Structure 1
Amino acid sequence: MFKKYSILTTALTVFLLAAGCSASQSSSDNEKEVTLTVSAAASAQDALEEIQKNYEKTHHNITIQDNFGSSGALQKQISQGAGADLFFSAAEDKFQKLVDDGDIAKKDSTDVVGNEIVLVVPKDGDSPVKSFDNLTDSEKIALGTPESVPAGAYGKESLTKLSLWNKIKDKIVYGKDVRQVLSYVETGNVDAGVVYKTDALISKKVKIVDEAKADTHSPIVYPLGIVKDTKHHKEAKEFYDYLQTDEAMKVFEKYGFTAA
């Protein structure tokens, strides 16, 4: 009798363990693999890539792919139906266009970080530019295309406020985004360039020679929103919330961003 009882107990234990493993496996299988596409301003690339890497470590079913570019170009892509789950813009007006058009719900949007505009020159070159004050001494100046690149628009505002725009506009070499502007300066193809402070800080080939005062341009704010047509709203909302946490903000600050 004892032997039969022992065999029954063992069989029951094995059954329960198997059932538990099966339930666990089933739960794991139900956690579907999701790829989120984030359309983001080029100036946020380094910070976002680190934040996303941290996020994926604890969210094994989530893969985040980025579409970096100028905020104006990204806004047009989303307006035309390009697949994106979240939009992280460097310009409020480009972002607001999507809100006004119904592509992003106001309740699914928020301002995350801020930035600054700086003047940079090649670190090892002999640029004549020492500050905005003597920018007219340069032969070529790099700037993002103001119509589509927020850093270019802010830069143009500052240069106009400083009564420099009309004096230097014929010397400007335009870039498709702020990273291209940075590249022009790094390679010495221009004497100086106007970029975000965050971009200048990640490059070892340029140095900051001046900063545009806040009262010379509109406030620089990076809004974040969930694209209405996302097929993964739950997962997009979770990452949207994570980008506003203290953990994510520490990374943003590490790369030179400020709290919005």
Structure 2
Amino acid sequence: MMTLLFRALALFALLGSSMAHATPGDRGPLLLAAASMQEAMNAAADAWAAHGHPRPVLSFAGSSALARQIKAGAPADLFLSADEEWMDDVERAGLVARGTRVNLAGNRLVLIRPASKPVSLRIGRAMPIARALGDGRLAMADPDSVPAGKYGKAALTALGVWPSVESKVARTDNVRAALALVERGAAPLGIVYATDARANKSVAVIGAFPVGSHAPIRYPVARLTASRHKDTEAFRRFLLSSAGRAILTRYGFSAP
């Protein structure tokens, strides 16, 4: 409980600093979004602002952390999760405005390596991933709570190799932290979304995990019941519009 409180207080402090020089009339709605959405949501916020609206305030983290912060009372307007389970959790708490939840985008799960370090490995059943790791670690978001990690664990389990790598996993708070470990060469292999790998030239994709090896990757977005910003619903609709979906496509996201 204390950990949750500290996380909530940290978010409030972050939001306070990001809004310190903005009044409610000159800032846009606050969007809490999955870490993997950084580039796409910044582009969407820029496009929205280019139409004369106050630019939305964006805060990125693992979907699990964001959901907990919303339940702890974080003053947010919109939530964009990297999986449906954490949105379900927020909705069960009565914090999602009825009729506003929509699946916004889809993604693929990939295995990556540092771009400068070739690895001979093909994704498939019983693949020798533990041997490819050697003494190194497999970077992935926390498989017990963070969506990318849960998808990754499911895929490795379906391929019959999870028991061989479970003790070698370097667990991170979000998918971008896992990406950073591989980028720096601190981990020889990592599991991230295809869009994360696409956004970073310091990593290379070994291959994509079979679609049927894990649950479909869907990003639901919803307006929160706590929202009082006049532009919240309009910005949500912009994300769902052809212009918003074109931005998502540009950054590698698929239809949900």
What TM bracket, shorter-length normalisation? 0.7 to 0.9
Q: Is the 8 A contact 2:113 2:182 kept in 1?
A: yes
> How far does residue 129 in structure 1 lie from its aligned partner after superposition?
4.5
Amino acid at match of 1:196: Y
TM-score w.r.t. structure 2 length? Answer: 0.85
Q: Where does structure 1 differ by over 6 angstroms across 4 or more consecutive aligned residues?
A: none
Q: Is the 8 A contact 1:118 1:212 kept in 2?
A: yes
Q: Does residue 116 of structure 1 match 2:113?
A: no
Q: Partner residue of 2:238?
A: 242
Q: Is the 8 A contact 2:123 2:209 kept in 1?
A: no
Which one of 174, 188, 191 corresponds to residue 191 of structure 1?
A: 188
Unmatched tracts of structure 2, length 5 or more = 1-23
> How far does residue 105 in structure 1 lie from its aligned partner after superposition?
2.3
Q: Partner residue of 2:10?
A: none
Greater share of strand residues, 1 or 2? 1
Amino acid at match of 2:245: M
Q: Is the 8 A contact 1:151 1:178 kept in 2?
A: yes
Equivalent residues in 2 for 1:1-260, closer than 5 Å: 32-60=25-53, 62-127=54-119, 129=121, 131=123, 133-137=127-131, 138=133, 139-232=136-229, 234-260=230-256
Identical positions, percent: 31
Q: Is the 8 A contact 1:72 1:147 kept in 2?
A: no
Q: Is the 8 A contact 1:145 1:175 kept in 2?
A: yes
Q: Distance in 2 between the 1:240 and 1:147 partners?
A: 29
Q: Is the 8 A contact 2:103 2:218 kept in 1?
A: yes
Aligned length: 228
Q: Is the 8 A contact 1:42 1:177 kept in 2?
A: yes
Q: Distance in 2 between the 1:35 and 1:148 partners?
A: 30
Spell out, residue by residue over 1:169-192, the C-alpha distance to the aligned partner (whole angstroms, 9 max, x if none).
111111110000000001111110
Amino acid at match of 1:44: M
Q: Distance in 2 between the 1:126 and 1:208 partners?
A: 10
Amino acid at match of 1:47: A
Q: Secondary structure at the match of 2:245?
A: helix
Q: Secondary structure at the match of 1:121?
A: strand
Q: RMSD over aligned Cα, in angstroms? A: 1.5
Unmatched tracts of structure 1, length 5 or more = 1-30
TM-score w.r.t. structure 1 length? Answer: 0.84
Rg comparison, structure with higher value: 1
Q: Distance in 2 between the 1:35 and 1:250 partners?
A: 21
Q: Distance in 1 between the 2:210 and 2:141 partners?
A: 19
Q: Distance in 2 between the 1:32 and 1:71 partners?
A: 28
Spell out, residue by residue over 1:132-178, the C-alpha distance to the aligned partner (whole angstroms, 9 max, x if none).
52312113110100233100000000000001110111111111100
